[in-house]
Amino acid sequence: MSEPSTAVRKVACPACKGPSLFGPGNPWRPFCSQRCRSADLGAWASERFRVPAQAPTEDESQPPDS
């Protein structure tokens, strides 16, 4: 149990499922590379754009000609 907290861990890259170093030396963590990180962020962005806003504003629930 003498492992330092700064030890670099090996994790699975969320994008390519490959080995990724999770530590200070990897700025793209938990991804293995910048390419994987931007690819995942791109998927995230398109996913967010596809999903419409779930919560309508309260003002819109009232008819304009009341």
Contact residues for Zn ion, defined by CB under 5 A: 13, 15-16, 18, 32, 36
Q: Which is nearer to Zn ion, 34 or 61 (CB)?
A: 34
Burial of 27 (0-12, 13-18, 19+ CB in 10 A): exposed
What are 63's two structure tokens?
Answer: 């008819």
State the amino acid at position 48 in one-letter form: R
In the bound complex, what is the minimum distance in angstroms from residue 32's beta carbon to Zn ion?
4
Q: Which is nearer to Zn ion, 39 or 50 (CB)?
A: 39
In the bound complex, what is the minimum distance in angstroms from residue 37's beta carbon to Zn ion?
8
In the bound complex, what is the minimum distance in angstroms from residue 46's beta carbon to Zn ion?
18
**How would you classify residue 17: left for phi > 0, otherwise alpha for psi between -120 and 50, otherwise beta?**
left
